[in-house]
Structure 1
Amino acid sequence: MGDIRRVPRVDDALLSARGVETGYGDLQVLHGVDLDVRRDEIVVVFGPNGAGKSTLLRAIYRLLPLWAGSVTVDGTDVSTVETADLVDYGVGYVPQTANVFPNLSVSENLDVGGAPVADSSRRRADLYALFPRLAERSNQRASTLSGGERQMLAMARALMTDPDVLLVDEPSAGLAPQLVERAFDHVQRVREGGTAVLMVEQNVRAALGIADRGYVLDVGENRFEGPAADLLASDAVRDLYLGARED
């Protein structure tokens, strides 16, 4: 197995972060983080609580200012692009919480997500085909959906603009154990629909089971990087972040 401590540059990356530093107020959380996502990949970021995983997604999506470093999408530097304009560069984002409008119907939520789209009805039909359960629930208020259905809606709403890469923060958070597998199935469907995925996830074994590559953050720095299978097989990663090996 290769050196998973090394964080190599990916030459054909769609999304790249280089030397990212940011934080909250006077508290610095990220200390020069590097990351790449190829056009056809699912990439997972994991690590201990407080490592800066969700902070990294917020920095990439410009919800936090970059103190240092850069973010590029398809070779274009978007480090100073405002959040509202990132849709023009093919970036979507699904936050962990407050990711749907509970008082709106499924269809209305998708329409809000598709506001920048010229033909939102066609895009909505495409997403109903990708997520048939949403088509069945199209007239229901989001507040009446199950946790798994709500997470599906959040992803579909972010996909209304047909992004090239989707940032997803903790897709299985708060879900009952029997729904976790379904949440990761949704992530796989997103990739199968032509959108790369960068996700933060605490359910590491399940996430690595569908991911192509992973990055481990620790105290705001890159600790390990490698193919998902290598990370799962690594004694160091297992002992520090995955717990005992399952028989």
Structure 2
Amino acid sequence: MSAIALYGRKTAGFDERLAATVQILKDAAAAHPGTILQSTSLGAEDMVVTDLIAKLGLPITLATLETGALHPETVALIPRITERYGLAVEVYRPVEESVVQFVRTNGEKAMYESLALRKACCGIRKMEPLGRMLTGRTAWVTGLRRDQSTARGEAQAVESDDAGRAKISPLVDWSWNDVWHYIATNEVPYNPLHDQFMPSIGCAPCTRAIAVGQEFRAGRWWWEDESAKECGLHVKQPAA
């Protein structure tokens, strides 16, 4: 059964949440002319945000991290965005030599060996390219929602990241039903892996389907403790 059929229901307050999201995006674009981008994971939430940016004609650059370990279905969404909306997507990749050296030293399955090695892999494939992506930017837009995980339960629609940039999460109050209702209503392209019980999709070696009743992000780094399940993109460092 498709994710739309499973989850695409309009719930109370959706129109108000959508209106609030539109205003957040408009305000962010106006406050950061020429220096704001959407960092899209190409997941369902981010596809909703991209659709809104396109429909509203907002001057927000689209950018994504192509880690070199994504599912083919995920990568295929990059040209689909351009075809659908006529918008270019900036693609940031890890430094090839860094990846080669890491694999040569630690093996193809290093991420399963220890938390430190998994985070080192995320550092090379995600964090370093993200740093380049955000260079010169004063704001970035994400698809974070509070009910994605306990770790994200305190996320705000507008907050500051560790570098002092504005971090905009316009769907922060949305439910999973809201996301799929919007996708269904607006015929938004989405990753077909969502139809295979993968609500949260990252790199292929670190993502699997979840079972009924499991937490939203249970399929990410499933061999790790729940408290560790972030790659670093959305983790604020504690104050010194």
- TM-score bracket, normalised by the shorter chain, equals under 0.3
TM-score by length of 2: 0.26
TM-score by length of 1: 0.25
Answer 1 or 2: which has greater strand percent.
1
Answer 1 or 2: which has greater helix percent.
2
